[in-house]
Structure formats: structure tokens, C-alpha cells
Amino acid sequence: MSNIVAIVGRPNVGKSTLFNRLVQRREAIVDSVSGVTRDRHYGKSDWNGKEFSVIDTGGYAVGSDDVFEEEIRKQVQLAIEEADIIIFVVDVEQGITPMDSEVAKLLRKVKKPILMAVNKVDNAMRDADAVEFYNLGLGDYFTISSINGSGTGELLDALAEKLEDAPEEKDELPRFAVVGRPNAGKSSFINALIGQERFVVTDIAGTTRDSIDTKYNRFGFDFNLVDTAGIRKKSKVKEDLEFYTVMRAVRAIEHCDVAILVLDATRGFEGQDENIFWLAEKNKKGIIILVNKWDLIEKETNTMRDFEAQVRKEIAPFTDVPILFISALTKQRIFKAIETAVEVFENRKKRIPTSKLNDTMLEIVKQYSPPAYKGKFVKIKYCMQLPTPTPQFVFFCNLPQYIRDPYKRFVENKLRELFDLKGVPIVIYFRQK
């Protein structure tokens, strides 16, 4: 049901280097995704037409050597539980170390696909040295150089074979994922929503371990909730691992149409919240932000406005994301939250007729044409929305290569202003015509 790839291995084998290579490839193809990449541990990529999420487990280890080893063991364990496919990276320069053997031992018990990548094989001479990795008992391996890219194509071919095809967009109920840091109030929000009237109609097994997709009918809407709150409490793995939160969020977000990001008002919009936000944005999911525990805030005249302004600054240029101030405790505005999520769900399916788009947008781009670049004038002739599941637009012009980011942002802002795409990530392409 999803394609989550985790990169595991001990420190310094080249996990981050491989991760960057896998993710940049994607960014080179998509020329104009709104928003920016910030978090380096999570990325979206594709190969042979199949999309996948990549998670680099490397960046999360901290602490002294002892803690370090324990952390790595935990992360590998988590990757085993949470990912769909695992890339195990080892280092031909160092050969097999005790820690490699330990990780291999964990991986040998796993039923999921495991691809072993012997990294730093920068030249053919090192191919022979890689043979020793057969001793890890994981069978065949791929020799790669994450630095110069050799061998990574073969690795990706093998990976793509194991990936699932993108599910067909079905005319289904909205799927909302309630995501956020531990203690933000996700469970409380869900409980407040469904109260005693919990109608569990279907329990679709998200994985073999747990169901995460549950259908509800509430406030006159039918919707599925993709829950990340309840499951955590059952897991045997340490709850405080940031990595775990990310893993859960990745899966929940992949399974949703709209991500409901719950913040703790007493803590503000923090790094981890931002990561989850961009995660949803990169997956082109609808987003709403709920600032929860609003009952705990001493309200001065401008508290709400200031809080909102701070969040909007962080998420620019995607600034028309609905932000609601709620309390799961007092149930303040929780109905409004679901109503807003439904609106965003509808916005995400929006199709703007070509004539309407051209009538308005061509006028605007004529009036504010792209700045001349190297003495050349860029002329936009025509635009249309692509028949993609989420809003993507293409603008045909004479010299697309001279359109710069500020102008793309200007166009995005205008589209948002004119066509109410509130809460929906959009993609804009400029193409030669």
C-alpha cells in the first residue's frame, strides 16, 4: 500500500550521500515544486515511473559511543518494523565491522525486501574487495559509489521492481491523517471528534501489524481517519524517538488526502512540526493546521494574530493553509476543523476550465510580464491545468528557461488568490511553445 524505503547502516558508510543522490534526482526532474526542501532525512523520489519515500536513518543518532550503538540498533529495528523496503549500506573501504555484522544479524530475520549496497566502490578495482560482504549472509549485493553515482542505477532498478504501482485514484471518501508531535493532542482530538459514537465500519489493514485507516461518519460527513496517535502507545519501541514520529507520519501522510497537523499552542511551531508540514507538502497532500490547547493560552488582544503570522512566515510561499485555534479538551472548533478539512479535500480535486484560467491569468501575466533576462523578453502565450490528481499547471512560453523563482511564486500567489486553492500544494511548470 505504500513505498517507504529506509536506508540503514552504521555511521560513515555513506547513507546521507546516497540519500542525497536519490532525492536530488527527483528535484532535478520536477522543475517547479512550490515550497522548499528543508528536512534532510526524508525525501520523495521516483524511478521507472514509481514513486517512493526515502528515509535516511543516519541523521538521528546522537550521544556517546555506547548510546550511539544502542541508538543504531533501535533505528534499524524501527526501520525493519516501519519501512517496506530496506537499503543496507556497507563500506568497502572499511570492510565488515562488528557493527555491520550486528545489523546484518537483525536483517537476516526480516521478511521484507533488503537490498545490500556496498558503497564507495568508486572504481572497478574495488569490485573484488566487495566479495567479502557475502559473509554477512544476506546474499547478493550491489556495488555502488554514492559519490560518483556508479552502480546506483542498478540498485534503483532492483528497488523499483519491488515497489508497488501507484494506486489508482478512486472516487473515495476523504482520508484525513491526524499528525503531529507526541503530546500535541492527537488522541484527544480524535476522541473529542468521535466521542462515544465511534462508528467503525471498516478496518483496512494498513500493514500486517495494525490498522490505521478507519471510517467514520460525523457531522454529516463520511471520512476516513488515518490515525497515528493510537498505534504509538502499543508499540514496544521507545516512544521518544524522533525518528519513530517521522516514520509514522510518513506512512500516515502517504495514505491520506488531507493532513491535519496538530500543534501544541503552548509550544509553538517547532522543527519537527515543520518537517511534518513539508512532508505533506512534498507529497502534494492537502494540509490544515490545528493549534490545539488554545484553552491554556492567556489571550492578549493579538495573541492569535501573532501566532498565525509566525506560522505563515515559516511556511511561505504556501501561505493560504487554513490555521484553526482549537481545544480538544473543551471541543472548541473541532467541528469547524473537520469542515475545513473537507473544504481542502474539495479544493484539491478542483479543475479550473482552461478558458477561465486563460481569461484571468493571461491578463495578469501580460500586465506583469516576467522580467527580461539577458536582454531577452519572455512571453507567456497560453496556460492550462494538467489532468493530474492534484492541481498542477503548465504555462507555455517562448523562453521557459528564463523564468526565475520569484516569478513562479508570483504566478502561484495569483492562482491561489483567484481560484481558492486553500490548503492545497500546487505545481507550476513553464514549458516551451
- Residues in touch with ligand GDP (CB under 6 A): 9, 11-17, 58, 119-120, 122, 145-147, 180, 182-188, 229, 292-293, 295-296, 327-329
The minimum distance between CB 189 and ligand GDP, in angstroms, equals 7
- What's the closest the beta carbon of residue 61 comes to ligand GDP, in angstroms? 9
171 annotated as ligand-binding: no
Q: C-beta of 9: minimal distance to ligand GDP in Å?
A: 6
Q: Which is nearer to ligand GDP, 97 or 183 (CB)?
A: 183
As measured in angstroms, the least distance from the Cβ of 16 to ligand GDP is 3
Separation of CA 112 from chain center:
22
230 is in an annotated binding site: yes
Residue among 230 and 317 whose Cβ is closer to ligand GDP: 230
Q: How far is the CB of 425 from ligand GDP (least distance, A)?
A: 24
Nearer to ligand GDP among residue 285 and residue 293 (C-beta): 293
Which H or E run includes 75?
A: helix 65-82
Containing 229, the helix (H) or strand (E) segment is helix 229-234
34 labelled as ligand-binding?
no
Q: By the 8 A CB rule, do 78 and 103 touch?
A: no
Name the residue type at position 380.
I
Burial class (CB in 10 A: 0-12, 13-18, 19+), 23: buried
What's the chain's Rg over C-alpha atoms?
A: 23
For residue 21, the minimal CB distance to ligand GDP (Å) is 9
Could you tell me the sign of the dihedral formed by the alpha carbons of 111, 113, 119, 123, in that order? positive
337 is in an annotated binding site: no
Block residue for cell numbers 476543523: 337
Contact 79, 241 (CB under 8 A): no
Q: Is the dihedral of CA 360, 366, 370, 373 positive or negative?
A: positive
Residue 3 is labelled as binding a ligand: no
> Is 14 annotated in some ligand binding site?
yes
Q: What is d(CA 83, CA 78) in angstroms, rounded to the nearest whole number?
A: 8
**Is the C-alpha dihedral spanning 29, 31, 35, 37 positive or negative?**
positive
Q: How many CA atoms lie within 13 A of 64 on its CB side?
A: 1
Decide: helix, strand or coil at residue 172. Answer: coil
122 is in an annotated binding site: yes
Is 120 one of the annotated binding-site residues? yes
Cβ proximity to ligand GDP: between 85 and 427 the closer is: 85
Report cis status (omega within 30 of 0) of the bond before 317. Answer: yes
Minimum CB distance to ligand GDP, residue 391 (Å) = 30
Q: Give the residue numbers of the binding site.
A: 9-16, 56-60, 119-122, 180-187, 227-231, 292-295
Q: Give the residue numbers of the binding site for GTP.
A: 9-16, 56-60, 119-122, 180-187, 227-231, 292-295
